[in-house]
Chains A and B, each alone.
Chain A
Amino acid sequence: MTADTLSLRPRPELGAPGPWSFPDADVFTLDTGLTVRAYHLPGQHVISVGLALDLPLTAEPADKEGVAALTAACLDQGTRTHPGTSFADAVENCGAVLEATVTYAGTQAYLDVPATHLGTALTLLVEAVREPELSDADVDRERSLALADLEQRLANGSSRADREARIALIDPACRASRRKGGEQEALTTITGEDVRRFHQTGYGPTRATVVVAGDLPADVRQLVTAAFGTWTNPAQRLVAGESVRGRERVAVLVHRPGAVQADVRIGRFTIDRTDPRWADYQLAVHVLGGAFLSRLNVVLREEKGYTYGVHLTNAPLRAGGYTVLSGSFRNEVVADAVALAGPLLAVDAKPLTADELDRSRRYLMGVQPLQYATASGVCNGVLTLLSAGLEHTFVDDLRRRWTAVTPESATEAAAELLPADDLTVVVVGDADALEPDLRAAGFDVQVVGR
């Protein structure tokens, strides 16, 4: 029947979420030392494959920072079996997409391919890591592309702010204080020989893991074993990662002439996933700046209209990590926004409530089934955990620990890790327009780049 006049129903109650846990894996180890983790996800017709190498950036020579990323960028530029551009052709001809990237903890090669072409794609992935050409010409070209990319990123206020925040928060003695891809000075000097040496000593099956996720064929073990089983490297050398440390609080204003908006980062060096306070702290951070109705966003976006959105996020590394507020604000309101942020983060003045905590807990637990519903979601999730030195059991463990968090324990973790009077402030914007207001608001900023 068509309604002639409006009639609406009363607001329904929230029902309980269905049960969920992280998918199980078939785990096995090849004779070469390589571990394989296979996640069978029916209905996921694009298979995701990740290869995680235990190759932290501390393996880079100090004067060649960026060599790991450059090596990764050159992997698909040709192999002995498929020289030059014939390698990329072969990858794309089977419907695959292949990419290698670096984190501070290791190098990861990643592949998406329709299930029908999994065998071919696995063979190509092994070629890329075992026998890449890494010719001088490829390295020279990829280096100049990396330098152009660096220049583009520095011209972007948000990327620039992320970089400056790392510099401001992390001890400069740590590799993690600098770009994964290397800074201009070192990058410029990297040669084909440097890349080949890095590959020779860094890439190998020892302590490496292959993650395969999707609607897997029955013979997936054989396919993976056939592709990876003969990959060895007697020259592989293992290197320890670093325990990252923070540095003293600073306030920096990075000059970006003519910017109509400033990119703001406010943060502190904090913890990683292995810290016993992680579950408490993660929930606290979500209440403060993760949710749409977070304490920060409600005031700075919904009440004040100062920003498109402000977020507080954790950036956990393998050992150590930091927490950072990110937002862009028009020039006229930057000082006010920065001044408001500290008090909004102060939990000792206003402890987290049970309701706030429940909302954040339901959100974080509710979105996980979706996050890990796809092949790429599971594969990337496991790769992230591997780079943190963890396995997928961490996800279910964390769900149990989230359940046990109390308003008191979350408040205590935030008060301890994110004291409002000990925060580093980084502002990237037009220093001429911003400096007087920031000083008037009590921020003794050090101006960079003017």
Chain B
Amino acid sequence: MCFHSAVTNLELGYPLIERTLPNGLRVIVSPDHAVPVVAVNLWYDVGSRDEVDGESGFAHLFEHLMFQGSANVASGDHLGAMQAAGASVNATTFFDRTNYFEAVPTGALDLALWLEADRMATLPAALSQENLDNQREVVKEEKRQRYDNVPYGDVFEHALALTFPPGHPYAHTVIGSMADLDAATTETATRFFRSFYQPGNCVLTLVGDVEPEDTFARVEHYFGGIPAAVRPSREESVALPPLVGVPRRTVTQPVPEGAVYLTWRLPARGTRAFDACDIALDILGGGQTSRLYRRLVHSEQLSSGAGAAALGLIGGTSFAYAYARALEGTPLPQLESAVVSEVERFLAEGPTDEELGRSRVQFEREWLSQLARVESRADLFSCYATLHGSPDLVNSRVAEFCSITAEEVRDAARAWLAPDARAVLTYERATEGEL
């Protein structure tokens, strides 16, 4: 089979030059002259895991405030000026990071760097109650649009709460709760900014039609005048053991079909055990050749959709889930036991050679596809520099992933994905009168 033409030892050769400014800002440059654009990408080492009790959703709300102006930039001008320069711009918040990025025509690079430096240095100068109130409403609309007004939209809220103990950094969602969003103040925002938004807590990556020396000089020019600050400390992450006692939660909602979600705790990302579990979950539930899809959707036709995936997290413990959505008439206990029995079979047998080979070549394509875009390539360099210490790991990632053996996959699955180490979230379809 063609996967035997083997991708193992596949080392990629994207150039990487890294420097750290005296104020602590890490700068990574990777030239690519294919088109006259440059991707500018900043990872701040702060995410929803850094939110304290009563402030869920704040890291994300703060991300919105970063577009509301700074000492020398008017509210909305960052996005407005960048778009008017022909750039695509956005930012996202996740458990382990907040990233800000713009892909700009090369002539707009200076402006992009200046805008990013201004908000890194001076955001509180523009913080106002009005801006905060407005963005709070925008974020609440975002929460309604993406989670509250969508069938199964609260799945992560329930699944995380089932999988992590109360108060754990990963026990709450990135979007947070309406009550906590309501409680946010400009003082919280200033404190958050002073703790996390500073050169030493940031990685800046530039990928595209640039020359390294010239680029470092430009970065130094715009960011060099920002004073260093004390980096925030974070409590050492604790690796949680697998779940015990099969915690369960059932929600009754007007969803189109009932559904079952199984969740597990996994090792932190960046470990061989996590990669091994990732492969196990891919074989169980990644796409139409996976075991869950083949059995539940294709053969037995119990389900309109079934799958499994790992969500890699850096703080000691990652998260995994498997799910199946009922086709009309399938009782949920039957669905759950079908998923459980596929997991058990995998734990007993481990992966076949064909399955492991498929997982590897599919990973290779997905990785190469991400690297095909300068924007996502820059994001991966920032990610690996921030979470795993070095952007070079991006070049060796395929080889590393493909070095995981069948035994490692089987053993990791046994250690982390055992059915009695699962939690179960069930969506019952509400009937008339239950609403």
Chain B residues contacting A298 (CB-CB under 8 Å) are 76
Residue interface mask A67-79, B partner, CB < 8 A = 1: 0000000001000
Query: Are A370 and B106 in contact, with the CB atoms below 8 A?
Result: no
Which residues of A104-158 have CB atoms within 8 Å of chain B's CB atoms?
112-114, 116-117, 120, 141, 144-145, 148-149, 151-152, 154-158
Query: Are B327 and A96 in contact, with the CB atoms below 8 A?
Result: no
Query: Are B364 and A17 in contact, with the CB atoms below 8 A?
Result: no
Among A117, A158, A261, A376, which residue has its beta carbon within 8 angstroms of that of B372?
A: A376
A13, A45, A112 interface centre (most CB from chain B within 10 Å) = A45
Which residues of A331-377 have CB atoms within 8 Å of chain B's CB atoms?
358-360, 362-363, 365-367, 369-370, 373-376
Which residues of B125-160 have CB atoms within 8 Å of chain A's CB atoms?
133-142, 144-146, 148-151
A-B contact pairs, 7 of them (CB 8 A): A8-B71, A46-B368, A90-B1, A95-B364, A144-B301, A305-B135, A376-B372
Chain A residues contacting B104 (CB-CB under 8 Å) are 366
> Does B244 lie at the interface of the complex (its beta carbon under 8 Å from any beta carbon of A)?
no
Given A6-B225, A88-B289, answer yes or no on A305-B141 (Cβ-Cβ < 8 Å). yes
Query: Are A302 and B76 in contact, with the CB atoms below 8 A?
Result: yes
> Does A293 lie at the interface of the complex (its beta carbon under 8 Å from any beta carbon of B)?
yes
> Does A101 lie at the interface of the complex (its beta carbon under 8 Å from any beta carbon of B)?
no
Chain B residues contacting A261 (CB-CB under 8 Å) are 141, 144-145, 148-149
B316-324, B337-345, B354-362, B388-396: which lies at the interface: B354-362
Shortest Cβ gap from B103 to chain A (Å): 5
Among A8, A88, A114, which residue has its beta carbon within 8 angstroms of that of B365?
A: A114
Q: Give A contacts to B, CB under 8 Å.
A: 1-9, 11-20, 41-46, 76, 85, 88-90, 92-97, 112-114, 116-117, 120, 141, 144-145, 148-149, 151-152, 154-158, 257-261, 291-293, 298, 301-303, 305-308, 328-330, 358-360, 362-363, 365-367, 369-370, 373-376
Query: Are B106 and A18 in contact, with the CB atoms below 8 A?
Result: yes
> Does B162 lie at the interface of the complex (its beta carbon under 8 Å from any beta carbon of A)?
no
> Does B373 lie at the interface of the complex (its beta carbon under 8 Å from any beta carbon of A)?
yes
Chain A residues contacting B357 (CB-CB under 8 Å) are 93
> Does B403 lie at the interface of the complex (its beta carbon under 8 Å from any beta carbon of A)?
no
Given A292-B83, A367-B88, answer yes or no on A85-B34 (Cβ-Cβ < 8 Å). no
| Alpha-carbon separation in the docked complex, A158 to B151 (Å) | 11
Query: Are B83 and A363 in contact, with the CB atoms below 8 A?
Result: yes
| Alpha-carbon separation in the docked complex, A343 to B200 (Å) | 48
> Does B246 lie at the interface of the complex (its beta carbon under 8 Å from any beta carbon of A)?
no
Among A8, A89, A97, A144, which residue has its beta carbon within 8 angstroms of that of B118?
A: A8
Residue interface mask B208-221, A partner, CB < 8 A = 1: 01000000000001
Chain B residues contacting A291 (CB-CB under 8 Å) are 80, 83-84
B79, B122, B369 interface centre (most CB from chain A within 10 Å) = B369
Shortest Cβ gap from B134 to chain A (Å): 5
Shortest Cβ gap from A112 to chain B (Å): 6
Query: Are B3 and A93 in contact, with the CB atoms below 8 A?
Result: yes
Given A8-B72, A8-B118, A258-B254, answer yes or no on A14-B111 (Cβ-Cβ < 8 Å). yes
| Alpha-carbon separation in the docked complex, A10 to B110 (Å) | 11
Shortest Cβ gap from A187 to chain B (Å): 14
Query: Are B224 and A367 in contact, with the CB atoms below 8 A?
Result: no
Chain A residues contacting B96 (CB-CB under 8 Å) are none
- Extra contacts besides A12-B110, A92-B362, A260-B148 (6): CB < 8 Å: A95-B3, A95-B364, A292-B89, A305-B141, A365-B86, A376-B369
| Alpha-carbon separation in the docked complex, A293 to B256 (Å) | 37
Query: Are A328 and B86 in contact, with the CB atoms below 8 A?
Result: no
| Alpha-carbon separation in the docked complex, A90 to B1 (Å) | 8
Query: Are A152 and B151 in contact, with the CB atoms below 8 A?
Result: yes
Chain B residues contacting A3 (CB-CB under 8 Å) are 22-23, 224-228
> Does B435 lie at the interface of the complex (its beta carbon under 8 Å from any beta carbon of A)?
yes
Chain A residues contacting B5 (CB-CB under 8 Å) are 116-117
Chain B residues contacting A145 (CB-CB under 8 Å) are 297, 304
What is the chain A residue whose CB lies nearest that of B109?
A15
| Alpha-carbon separation in the docked complex, A360 to B86 (Å) | 8
Residue interface mask B26-38, A partner, CB < 8 A = 1: 0000001011110
Chain A residues contacting B34 (CB-CB under 8 Å) are 41-43, 373
Shortest Cβ gap from B140 to chain A (Å): 8
- The 8 tightest CB contacts between A and B, nearest first, are A366-B86, A18-B36, A15-B107, A305-B137, A95-B361, A17-B105, A7-B225, A148-B304
Shortest Cβ gap from B88 to chain A (Å): 5
Chain A residues contacting B288 (CB-CB under 8 Å) are 76, 88
B114, B136, B149 interface centre (most CB from chain A within 10 Å) = B149
Among A9, A144, A366, A367, which residue has its beta carbon within 8 angstroms of that of B221?
A: A9
| Alpha-carbon separation in the docked complex, A426 to B155 (Å) | 29
> Does B121 lie at the interface of the complex (its beta carbon under 8 Å from any beta carbon of A)?
yes
What is the chain B residue whose CB lies nearest that of A44?
B372
Query: Are A45 and B141 in contact, with the CB atoms below 8 A?
Result: no
Chain B residues contacting A90 (CB-CB under 8 Å) are 1
Among B86, B150, B257, which residue has its beta carbon within 8 angstroms of that of A151?
A: B257
Chain A residues contacting B72 (CB-CB under 8 Å) are 8, 11
Chain A residues contacting B32 (CB-CB under 8 Å) are 43
Chain A residues contacting B87 (CB-CB under 8 Å) are 363, 366-367
| Alpha-carbon separation in the docked complex, A90 to B3 (Å) | 9
Query: Are B79 and A293 in contact, with the CB atoms below 8 A?
Result: yes
Query: Are A96 and B221 in contact, with the CB atoms below 8 A?
Result: no
| Alpha-carbon separation in the docked complex, A369 to B104 (Å) | 10
Query: Are A93 and B372 in contact, with the CB atoms below 8 A?
Result: no
> Does B204 lie at the interface of the complex (its beta carbon under 8 Å from any beta carbon of A)?
no
Chain A residues contacting B375 (CB-CB under 8 Å) are 370
Query: Are B108 and A15 in contact, with the CB atoms below 8 A?
Result: yes
> Does B222 lie at the interface of the complex (its beta carbon under 8 Å from any beta carbon of A)?
yes
Among B80, B149, B358, B365, which residue has its beta carbon within 8 angstroms of that of A260?
A: B149
Query: Are A259 and B149 in contact, with the CB atoms below 8 A?
Result: yes
Given A17-B108, A298-B76, answer yes or no on A373-B37 (Cβ-Cβ < 8 Å). yes
| Alpha-carbon separation in the docked complex, A151 to B305 (Å) | 13
Query: Are B3 and A292 in contact, with the CB atoms below 8 A?
Result: no
What is the chain B residue whose CB lies nearest that of A262?
B149
Query: Are B368 and A45 in contact, with the CB atoms below 8 A?
Result: yes
B3, B103, B145 interface centre (most CB from chain A within 10 Å) = B145
